[in-house]
Structures are given as C-alpha cells and as structure tokens.
Structure 1
Amino acid sequence: MRIYKFKRPTLIDDIKSAILTALLKNKHKKNSITLKHNTIYVLPSTLGVYFSVVASLNFVMGINYQNNLILFMAYLMFVIIIFALLLGYSNARGLTVSFKYAIDSFAPQTPQLVWQIEADDPCQSITLSYPKDLKNACYITRVKNEVIKCQLSLPYTKRGCYKLKPIKIASNYPFGLVSVWSYIQPNKAVYVYPSIIKTTNQKHQNLVANNTDEGTEKHKGDDEFESLITHLPEMGLQRISWKHYAKTQQLLVKQFSDFKSADAQFDFNLVTGDTEQRLGQLCFLVCQAFESDINYSLKLPNKLITTNSGKLHHQRCLQALSQVGNDNE
C-alpha cells in the first residue's frame, strides 16, 4: 500500500510574509526602535474576540427580550474592550528596544541576541520572540525608569550564516483582551560555527603543538649563537672565532640564529572525513591556534584566508568555516 505525503500549503504563509514585508518597509529595519503611534499595532486578542462576540450576543438578546440588565451588561463589556485597547496602546507607547550584539555559537548550540529594553513610564508584560519560536521567547514583567538586558535564543542549531528575521515585540496587557505588537529587524547576521572535533591529522597536531610548547622556529640571523662552521673563501673575517683559531689553527666561523614563530597552515584537503568532520577538525585547529597566539592561514575549497593572528582573524576564519557549502536563509 502506497502512502502519499502531502505538503502543507504555503499560500497563507506567503501572503503573511508579503504583508509583513510591505508593512515593515524601513521603519522597523533598524537596531533600535521607540514604540509610538506609527510603529504600534493594536487588535483584540483571541480572548478579546470571544469577549466581543459574547458582548454582541448580549446586546442582541437585550434588544429581543427588551431586558435593560442584559443591555447594560453588553454596554459594559463593550466599554471594557475599548478601555483595554486604549490602555494596551498606552502601555507600549514610549518603550525603547535596542539590539546590542549577537553571540555566535558552535553547533548544535543556538546563537543568541542581546537586547536592551527601557521605558520612562511603567510598561507591563513585554515579550520578545522570534518567528515560530515562542518557547524561547524573552519575557519581561515590568519596565520602569531602568535599563533591562535580556538574551533571546534563536532556533538555529545547524552550521551556517543566518540573516535575522523580524523580531516581534508584543504585549497582552491588560486582561489579555488585546494584542499590542511591533517589530524590529536589525541588519545583522548570526553564525553557527561547525562542531569542534579534535583532529586526527598528526601533521597539524604537531605543528600547533610545536608552536605551543616551543613557540619558535630557527632561522639564520643575528640573535643567538648556535654553532661553529668551517670558514669558506667567500665569507668575511668578521665572524671568525679567533679563540678557536689560536687553539686549533683552524678558521671557524660563528653561526647565529634568531627565533621566530612558525606559521601554521590549515588545509581542508589535509584532514579526513566527510565535509562536516573536516570543518569540525579545522574549527578545532583554528581555536587552538588562536589560544596559542600563533600565526596561521586557512585554506578552504572556495576560499583562502592568508596568514594572520588575533581575534578578528579568528572570527573571520570561523565565519568562513560556517559558510562552506551553505546557503541558509
């Protein structure tokens, strides 16, 4: 028996996405937003819709049965829902939400966004949520004359680079009868780096270990005496060891060495395993080289990052590793 699987229609989602894109325009695409009349949206919540339906039924019953008590209850319920709409708008107005920075992660950990929230007037029951990820939403009970920082986890666990979608700022204050919301969409991408896998490539391990333990590689120079070699005709007389000549009657020349850190080279083709395993091993090597403060380069199938060191170089290498063969949203 053949079982057919039908995909969920995406027409409604496409319509919602188009409306949201047209709605956002440029007034929500920023790193900081202060909620005001042109960036706040207010509608009855699901509970508010049911409440309004009951009020309407009471109104119809009161007219049909000419019952003043039922009519009074209907009017009172309408007043409550209108009052809730006005109070919900007033509660959110003046709230400032600012994006501070993103915390990238290593798979399968999720990246996070750090936010700063402040308001001059009391603001109740605020929620920050990412699309289709309410379980990781950030809930704030009350904001008043203070700066609150919160972290919002994103639903990304696979390696890649992800451009941020609109983050929803919402409140159901008061009574849960209304939905007051707005959006903020920072122009920022977050990265999920490959999982760190200890490499089995002995060449790479030795290279990093030698730099970590000894931290030096010998090069011909003038820093430190290393050995004596036989004098050749083309050599000058400046470095002849006259002390040894006096003892042995042989012309010996002093050879010096300076000591410089060796540059590590990490190559995608020199590690083993499938793509994810190779990237995980390279990620391990890059992190180890960064901790050892040595110069290193990274060679990937579609990119070459030249030799350098430091935090920015480390971040650049990790970002390149996260994007190998990936075209994430």
Structure 2
Amino acid sequence: MLKAIRNRWQRWVNRRIPRSDQRAFGQRNIFILPTGAGVVFAILLLIMLITGINYQNSLIYLLTFLLGAIVVAAMHQTHRNLSGLELTLIQAGEGFAGDMIPFRLRAVSPRHDTLALSLSCDDTVLDQQHIPSGQQADLNLAIPSYRRGYLQPDRILVETRFPFGLFKAWSWLRPVTSGIVYPNPLAAPEVFSTVQDGEEQSKSRSIDGNDHADIRPWREGDMSQRVQWKRYARTGEMVIADWEGEQGSPHWLDYEAFAGVDRELRLGYLAHQVIGRSRSNSRFGLNLPGQVIEPDTGAAHTNRCLRALAVFGLEQPREGGPLPYGTRAGESTRSGGRAGTEGVA
C-alpha cells in the first residue's frame, strides 16, 4: 500500500517537474511543510492559547498572537527565499567507478537574496549556500558513483529552511545531461593483440640488425615481446625497438585479446592499460567491437578512450527510462536477465 502511494507520488512529481537541465522555481513547483521544530512550536502555541483562554490572561493572548504572526511571516519568507531562483546544470563531471562525480550548477537569484540554500543527492549535501540578488554563483555537488556508465541523478533536492527553521521549502532539479563513469582499472594480464596491422607485421622482422628500427628506453606499459632481451643480457639495459620511428607499429589495446573473460573485467583491464599508456606517453589505439579508435597520444585521446570504455554496451539515459548510476537494471529487465551471461566471450 505504501509502495503504491509512493509510486503515485513520484509519478505526479515527475509530471509536474519534467527532466531539464534548467529550472526556475516558482508557485507551481515549490513545496512547503513545517519541520519538526515547526510542529513542536505550533503545539506550544496551541497550549499557550488554551492556557490564555482558561485563565483569561491578556498577556498570554498577546504573546500567543505575536508568536503566531511571526510563524506566518516565517512561512511566507521561507517560500519567498526559494521563489524566483534559477538553477542550471552547466557541466556533468567524469571519473572512475567509486569516485565522487562533480556536477557543476549555476544558481541565479534575480529578484532578491537567496539565503541558506541547500543542495543534496543521496547522502551528499551542499549546505548553507548564499546567492546575492542579481548575481550568479557556481555550485559543485559531488555525487557518488557505483558502476561504470552514465550517471544521471534522478533528482537533486533543492531546499531552504531560512529564516527560523520552522518550515522547509523544497523542490527538485531533474537533469537530462549525464556524467560519465569510467570502469574501475584492474591490473591486466599480458596478452597479445588480435589486430592485424603494422605491429603484427613487425613481429616477423628480425630486430637485431634492422636499420629501420629506433631504439628507446623501456617505459611502463610496453609489451615484453618488444624488449631486446639479448641486449639486456649483454648490457643490463632494457630497451625497445620501434620500427620506422613514430610511424612504426602502434600498441593496440584490444577487447578481443582477453578471450574467455567477463565483459566488465575486460573493460577494467583496458582502462588500466589506457592509463598506463597515457602515463608513459605511448602511442596506442583502442579496438572495441563496433568501434575502433585510431592510435594517438595525449590527454584528449586518453579521455576519448576512457569514455568509450565507460559507455560500451550501454544506452544513453532518456526521459522516462533513465539508467541510474550507470547500472544496467533497466536493460537487464528488458532482456529477461540476458545481461548476466552475455559478458562471457
């Protein structure tokens, strides 16, 4: 019974507050109720009123009605404090699974100061924010992530209890833009890429005596089969042979190289490899089923590869069917539990 009531309430709120990255709060979408302190205060006023009636004491009447007027004024001020506020999501952050993903919001209060504003999502609270009249303020709310994928908060609670904490006025922002959660990096076993390109052709060449090979020191992330072990045995110096300099065989990070491994493990291995190649500034490409990212270097290339791993096999959340926190709960339901077995190659 309670679950049915809660579901009907949520559907009503979702119709009243549709998904949008921008929300102006007003009469239609602000809710207000007394807090626990407000309820206790109202009970005390009622007791004072009954006492005044019983003893016909004018001073008790005066104090009761004075405090009652303050309560009414506080209710209007609490509602007014949130009314007119404009909140916009301007940037959804990125990070690894388990991290706090930052969401950057811009608050504007065109008509009056907004005091003691609070934003929250799950257990994360951004408290006591003040927005001066006619100015804007950027607020950063960190939202926890649990799994890779799209991070789309169902609701960001916006509330205020100013001035006396007797009433709580609140509403929600239901953003459309999603954050990106990368797979949790896992130390990858050493495997051989299945990509047939210049690197595969280079394996058939003889390293010793090749006039077209560039010799460079070994860096973290280099594959062991490219180390000149004979030279290492003679000199103790670990070096790598790169054919044709920068135009030589790139390192391919290959999804298909981890045969027989669950999909989420494969993505974790690839994320670890991407980070390793990025730290060593090595040239690498990423081969995923249905998507190939050509070899390159740099922060932008690394970010592109991590994003591809984060959203691999997932649908972007849409209005009416969001995938909360990067999970595949909705997709698993639609596919009849197929997601639990499809990750095995």
How big is the shift at 1:214?
7.2
Unaligned 5+ segments in structure 1 are: 1-7, 219-257
Q: Which residue of 2 aligns with 1:280?
A: 268
Amino acid at match of 1:319: R
Q: Which residue of 2 aligns with 1:307?
A: 294
Q: Which residue of 2 aligns with 1:123?
A: 114
Question: CA 1:39–1:19 in structure 2 vs 1: closer, same or farther (change >3 Å)?
Answer: closer
Q: Which residue of 1 aligns with 2:181?
A: 192
State which drifts further: 40-49 or 290-299. Answer: 290-299
8 A Cα contact 2:99 2:144, kept in partner: no
Within the alignment, does 1:172 sit opposite 2:173 as a pair?
no
**TM-score normalised according to structure 1 size:** 0.70
1 or 2, which has the higher strand percentage? Answer: 1
8 A Cα contact 2:25 2:85, kept in partner: yes
Q: Which residue of 2 aligns with 1:223?
A: none
- Which one has the largest radius of gyration? 1
Q: Which residue of 2 aligns with 1:17?
A: 10
Question: CA 1:209–1:161 in structure 2 vs 1: closer, same or farther (change >3 Å)?
Answer: farther
Unaligned 5+ segments in structure 2 are: 194-220, 227-238, 314-326, 331-345
Amino acid at match of 1:125: A
| Alpha-carbon distance in 1 for matches of 2:172, 2:42 | 26
8 A Cα contact 2:156 2:172, kept in partner: yes
Within the alignment, does 1:271 sit opposite 2:258 as a pair?
yes
| Alpha-carbon distance in 1 for matches of 2:163, 2:152 | 34
Which of 87, 103, 108 is the equivalent residue of 2:98? Answer: 108
Q: Alignment identity in percent?
A: 21
State which drifts further: 138-147 or 258-267. Answer: 258-267
Amino acid at match of 1:19: W
| Alpha-carbon distance in 2 for matches of 1:215, 1:165 | 51
| Alpha-carbon distance in 1 for matches of 2:23, 2:144 | 23
Which of 34, 41, 44 is the equivalent residue of 2:34? Answer: 44
Question: CA 1:144–1:13 in structure 2 vs 1: closer, same or farther (change >3 Å)?
Answer: same
Which of 116, 140, 149 is the equivalent residue of 2:128? Answer: 140
**TM-score normalised according to structure 2 size:** 0.67
| Alpha-carbon distance in 2 for matches of 1:293, 1:278 | 21
- In the TM superposition, what whole-angstrom CA distance separates every residue of 1:1-52 from its partner, at most 9, and x where no partner exists? xxxxxxx964454244223213213xxx322333333333333222212222
Amino acid at match of 1:196: P
- In the TM superposition, what whole-angstrom CA distance separates every residue of 1:148-194 from its partner, at most 9, and x where no partner exists? 32221113233332322121111000110111122212211222211
Amino acid at match of 2:168: S
Q: Which residue of 1 aligns with 2:236?
A: none
> Counterpart of 2:81 in 1: which secondary structure?
helix
8 A Cα contact 2:17 2:29, kept in partner: no
Q: What number of residue pairs does the alignment pair up?
A: 274
8 A Cα contact 1:305 1:317, kept in partner: no
8 A Cα contact 1:52 1:77, kept in partner: no
8 A Cα contact 1:298 1:317, kept in partner: no
Q: Which residue of 2 aligns with 1:153?
A: 142
8 A Cα contact 1:266 1:298, kept in partner: yes
| Alpha-carbon distance in 1 for matches of 2:302, 2:72 | 56
Structure 1: which 4+ aligned runs deviate by more than 6 Å?
Answer: none
Question: CA 1:92–1:9 in structure 2 vs 1: closer, same or farther (change >3 Å)?
Answer: closer
| Alpha-carbon distance in 1 for matches of 2:48, 2:12 | 35
> Counterpart of 1:182 in 2: which secondary structure?
strand
> Counterpart of 2:283 in 1: which secondary structure?
coil
| Alpha-carbon distance in 2 for matches of 1:209, 1:153 | 43
Amino acid at match of 1:18: R
8 A Cα contact 2:120 2:157, kept in partner: yes
- In the TM superposition, what whole-angstrom CA distance separates every residue of 1:94-136 from its partner, at most 9, and x where no partner exists? 3332212122111221212112223343221000111x42xx2
Question: CA 1:191–1:209 in structure 2 vs 1: closer, same or farther (change >3 Å)?
Answer: farther
How big is the shift at 1:294?
3.1
| Alpha-carbon distance in 2 for matches of 1:311, 1:119 | 37
| Alpha-carbon distance in 1 for matches of 2:38, 2:249 | 69
8 A Cα contact 1:33 1:97, kept in partner: yes
Question: CA 1:103–1:214 in structure 2 vs 1: closer, same or farther (change >3 Å)?
Answer: farther
How big is the shift at 1:215?
9.5
> Counterpart of 2:187 in 1: which secondary structure?
coil
| Alpha-carbon distance in 1 for matches of 2:224, 2:168 | 56
